[in-house]
Every structure is written in structure tokens, then in C-alpha cells.
Amino acid sequence: MGESSVSRRDFIKASAVSVAAMGMAGRAYAAGSDTVRVGIIGCGGQGTRDLVSCVKSSPGVEIAAMGDLFADRLAESVDKLTKEVPDAFKATPDRRFVGWDAYKKVLQTDVHVVVLTAPPHWRAQHLQAAIEAGKHVFMEKPGGVDPKGIRSVIQTSELARQKNLSIVAGTQRRHSKKYQEIIRRIHDGQIGRIVAAQAYWNGGDMLGYWKWWDKENLSDMEWQCRSWPWFTWTSGDHIVEQHVHNLDVINWALQGHPEQCMGMGGRAVRTLGNIYDHFAVEFEYAGGVRVASMCRQINGSADRIAERVVGTKGVADVDRGVILGENPFQYEGPDPDHYVQEMADLIASVREGKPINEGRNVAESTMNAIMGRMSAYTGRALKWDWAMNASKLDLTPPKYDWIDLPVDPVATPGKTQLI
């Protein structure tokens, strides 16, 4: 992966922790015990599913602490977990926390691993707090919603490396045996020199998957936090929240991030929140390799969720496990549930003292998506170096409280400013 100027510049100097002390953090896992205690920050549907996958991934995993902004969301998660993984559920009422500071209270407990599944806006904040607290981390994708958050995730990932702590990201395709084999063959040159690629997440509206909350008597802040998938500041828009999966595969295959991009998008049918329902972005990588990226959330339209890499000797349909051309190949081996496998890999890294650090990968793939959104929102082409290092875009609200928070207007290309 290419290095940005954010990466290691004066980073160690910024930390007050000695190298020796940081080295101990990776050994915080309970010696003499096979039990791994897991906490969660963000108890919505995805977080609850991730906890179930974590328990199923390895024996000896216990759910030991929980935190969420909303009491009802935490209670719903408790109800599901006590039914689905009752033997592993150990989060007694005094270890269930609610409110803006719930994440801090989870991190003050004796958990070894924390699962970060709050809405994407909070990813950088929660990751930094977790690593500073000496916890191993599973963080859902994406890595943030704006360049400021991405810079923070990259810095925190470097701190995790110094402290020998694992960060596994929810870009679970990297834990698929099928994907790993096809990417290995791409890197070995079996499709020749890469000349182009395509990435797609064209599917239906996610309203049936995520709940939209009517505002009624809710404050602006509560309404937007509960309905987070449909607001840019909370979700990053669906190109960031969802399409990051496919963009991550492209970065993985091309072993780097794009140098520049130009995108477009809009709202053809969507009426909820202020996000778009379709994007198309062209990313340009080193050597002039161009990647066509599409994502859409519109019902009744053709679906395609895929990644395709084109070389001088063949084509790899990565999602299908197929290579066509001079060196044809079809993956027919085992491919365990990726959601369970990513958790198994994390738990094994904790037990074996061999940290995995995917923080920078997911940060850079998320930055792909943020760049594409910024280009589509403004109608401007932009370069990676400017977006990563010079953009001042920061979607943080004035404060975290139940405040009035007017919804930003839907972006208008040619009028919305590039910040």
C-alpha cells in the first residue's frame, strides 16, 4: 500500500507511552486461560450479528460487556444474544451501558477484544479510545466518513502496531479462501499486467434491512442517529458504507490506492435523508490503470455485486473465483462463512500473540469511497494526495447531545463546494 504523509511522521513522538509499555499491551490476554472476553460498542443489528459470529468462530469466547447510545437497541441485542448464544452471554446488567459515554465504560471493563459497530461517523473516535485502552479490536467497515476520520484511523493503526494489538476490519472478503486464492494468482502474474478493473454494488434499497425512524417527537440528533444509514454525516453515504467492500478488493488486487478520481451520482427515487441512491466513479491508479466503479440502491433494477480485474493475459472474476484467459482457473476449495472466519482469525491472533492489523487497509479503501462521494457531490475531479492530506472536510456535529441539528441539503454537483 502507498504511504501518505499522514503515516508515520512524528507519530511515535506524539505518544507518551514507552515502547516497552506498549509491548505489554499485546500480552493483556489472560494468561493461563482460554477464555477471551469480548465487549461491543454499538448494539444494532450488524453488531449483534457480529457478536454471534464471534462466539461461533472459536470456543471460549464470552460476551462480557455492552454499550449503546440507546437503551432500547441494547435491550433488543441482549434479547437476541441470550436466545442465540446463551452459554456465551456473560454481560450482566452492571456491564451494560447506555449513553454518549457508554463506549468509555465498556473500555474500562476487563474485556480483551472490543467490537466496534456504532455508525461509521464514530469509527475513528472509538478505535482510538479502544487502542489507547489496550484492547484488541474488530471494527466494522467503513473506516469513517470524512478525511479527518481517515487520518485518525491511520494514526491509531500505527499505535496498535506499536502496542502489538490486533485490528481486524469488517471487509470480510479478505478472509475468504476463494478471494485469497484468486488475489494470490493475480499477484503471481497469472493474468499478466493489470490494465483495468471494475467494481460493483448495484442492489435494492436497504429500507427493508435498516429501519427508518419517523421524526415525530425526536430531537434532530436522535432522529438522525437512529436513522443513520440515510444521512451523510452518520453513514458516509452508501458508496462509503457499502461499496467499500468492492473497492477494498480492487485496492487489494492492485496493491495500492488510486491517484485520482472523477465521479457522478444523484437521487433518482430516494426521498429519505440526504444521501444519493446511485454513484458512478472512475478511479485512476498508478500506471494509468483505470477502474470503473458503480453502486446503486434502487429496487426493481438489475443487481450486480462483483469485482473484476483485467490483465494482458486474462481476466479474473474475483467474486466468482474464476480466471479466464491463458491460465484458466476455477476455485473449488472450501470457503467457510467469511463473517465467522474473520472473527476466528482475530481470536486466533489474540491467543497466539500474533497481531493482525488491517486498519490502514480499511482506512485507504474507505478513502477511495470518500473521494468518489466528494467528486460526485461537487462535480469536481480530485487527487488522492489532496483529499488525504489537504481536505478540511469534517462532518462532526457541533456537539454530541440531543441538539437541534438541521439536515444538510442534498448535494448538488456544480454548486456544492469541495472542502
**Domains parsed from the chain with CATH numbers:** 11-173+341-359 (3.40.50.720), 177-333+367-389 (3.30.360.10)
| Nearest of 344, 340, 362, 363 to residue 352 by alpha carbon | 344
Which pLDDT value is given to residue 208? 87
pLDDT, tens only, 26-71: 444 544 468 999 999 999 999 999 999 999 999 999 999 999 999 9
Give the pLDDT of residue 397: 98
- Residue 33: predicted pLDDT: 64
Nearest-angstrom CA–CA distance, 178 and 334: 8
pLDDT at 73: 98
pLDDT of res. 22: 38
Rounded Cα–Cα distance for residues 225 and 107 (Å): 22
What is the rounded distance in angstroms from the CA atom of residue 371 to the CA atom of residue 375? 6
- What confidence score (pLDDT) does residue 117 get? 98
Burial of 9 (0-12, 13-18, 19+ CB in 10 A): exposed
